[in-house]
A = this chain, B = another copy of it.
Amino acid sequence: MNPQRYIYAYPHPAVTTDVVLFTIQMDTLSVLLIERRNPPFQGMWALPGGFLDISEDLEACAKRELQEETGIEGIYLEQLGTFGAPQRDPRERVISVTYFALSPSDHLCPSASSDAAEAAWYPITELPELAFDHAQIISLARQRLIAKLGYSTIAFQMLPETFTLSQLQSVYEVLLNEALDKRNFRKAILARNIIRETGETARHGNHRPAKTYQVLNPRQVEIIK
């Protein structure tokens, strides 16, 4: 097959998108990584992502690459920043527009693909050596995620549609890495008027069942105060 050639009067960088997808598994903040099937950094772990199609929107590209490489779709996505150090990719000049994404800890089925030998969750405390500048990108994403906890409803993106207050508190505790007082936490959350009781309860073991709640404006991150 004879590849088509694209000619420009000035050199153009390549543009990629990369996605930092977080979830919480077993009370641990985890990141989705793929094992690179091709050079460069073949066999190393990296963020899911890839080259922008020439008439594709940036966010659409991030979603598409995530879907292609891991099978995951329909989740919250937000632009994180753009990385373009001149030598970050050994092949050619590459500008990467990065996104961070959150997924509830259920229905997660990462799968391999043509570009990714394997896809897997890594606890953020036990990351392998990463390709490109992806360690730096993950570090920035984590900072941003934690910062947004304080002034947005982003935490709900890590829970299923209905959830208990204990589950919600656990999300905050894992991300902030500190224990929170149960009564104060519940008081503060309920004072914000952003969730309502479903009327149902959930039994998760041999103890009293918990009331379940849902977000008033689901799948939408709002800035609060």
Q: What residues of chain A have their CB less than 8 Å away from a CB belonging to chain B? A: 3-15, 51-52, 54-58, 79, 81-82, 84-86, 93, 95, 97
Contact = CB atoms under 8 A, between A and B. Distances in A.
Copies of this chain assembled into the complex: 2
A54 B11 contact: yes
Contacts of A6: 7-12
A147 B3 CA distance: 48
Contacts of A95: 15, 52, 58, 95, 97
A82 B57 contact: no
Contacts of A93: 54-55
Contacts of A51: 10
A52 B13 contact: yes
Nearest to A52: B13
A54 B55 CA distance: 21
A61 to B, nearest CB: 9
Contacts of A54: 10-13, 93
Contact of A8 (B5, B9, B52, B82): B5
A29 B9 CA distance: 39
Given A57-B84, A58-B84, A9 B15 contact: no
